[in-house]
Copies of this chain bind each other. A is one copy, B any other.
Amino acid sequence: MAETNPAPRDPAPSAAGIAAAWQRERPGTPTESIEIVTPLWWLGKLFADDRGRVLREAGIDAATLDLLSVVRRSGPPYALSTREIAARTLVTAGAVSQRVARAEREGLVRRTPGTTGRRTVLVELTDAGHALIERSVDAVLGREASLVQGLTEQERAALTGLLGKLLEDVRQRVARRPE
């Protein structure tokens, strides 16, 4: 029998509950970040799992969608170097190499020697790859759009602003490592 992560019959765990538990067990624990970082992580997982379900029906997986999307979005001639793809998808170049190998095996992309100097390899969409991404992207983004409808227009705008600000700030703090 399948063993998917059972839907919590208990009241869904809450970030506030976790912070409270730490305070109860270890008064003074610095829990200020928990109610931001934890829901953020849970939401990421919820969206990722849901996206996985949508993609399974579309006959594509998240890694391949990620790859085809970034190339498609870059516009004509729909070709990007491995390194460029790695930087834009937040995975290592090694992983990109493997993803490209898989997608190539399925006939979705093609590797061509980069015309520009350097020893770059361009990853290019085939017609099949182009058709597949065209077919999937609306399904994925449409579903995600429906998932955020619980927030009002104003709330979504506020959330977008706060996430953007936090992202930019955390990036800087993480970049200059100290403290």
List residues of chain A with CB under 8 Å of any chain B CB: 3-8, 10, 12-16, 18, 21-22, 24-26, 29-37, 39-50, 72-75, 86-88, 90-94, 134, 137-138, 141-142, 144-148, 150-151, 155-156, 158-160, 162-175, 179
Given known A-B contacts A13-B88, A41-B47, A170-B46, A36 and B137 have beta carbons under 8 A apart: no
A87 touches B10 (CB 8 A): yes
Point out the residues of chain B lying under 8 angstroms from A39, CB to CB.
160, 163-164, 166-167
Chosen A-B contacts, 23 in total, with CB atoms closer than 8 Å, are: A3-B94, A5-B90, A12-B168, A15-B164, A21-B73, A22-B73, A25-B73, A26-B137, A33-B147, A33-B148, A35-B160, A37-B47, A39-B164, A42-B90, A46-B167, A146-B173, A147-B170, A150-B165, A150-B166, A151-B165, A155-B165, A158-B162, A159-B166
Point out the residues of chain B lying under 8 angstroms from A175, CB to CB.
7
B40 touches A163 (CB 8 A): yes
Partner of A173, one of B16, B75, B150: B150
- Chain B residue, CB-CB nearest to A134: B26
- Chain B residue, CB-CB nearest to A159: B162
Point out the residues of chain B lying under 8 angstroms from A94, CB to CB.
3
A92 touches B162 (CB 8 A): no
Point out the residues of chain B lying under 8 angstroms from A155, CB to CB.
162, 165
Partner of A3, one of B25, B93, B159: B93
A141 touches B72 (CB 8 A): no
CA of A159 to CA of B39 in the docked complex: distance in angstroms? 10
Partner of A25, one of B29, B72, B170: B72
Point out the residues of chain B lying under 8 angstroms from A74, CB to CB.
21
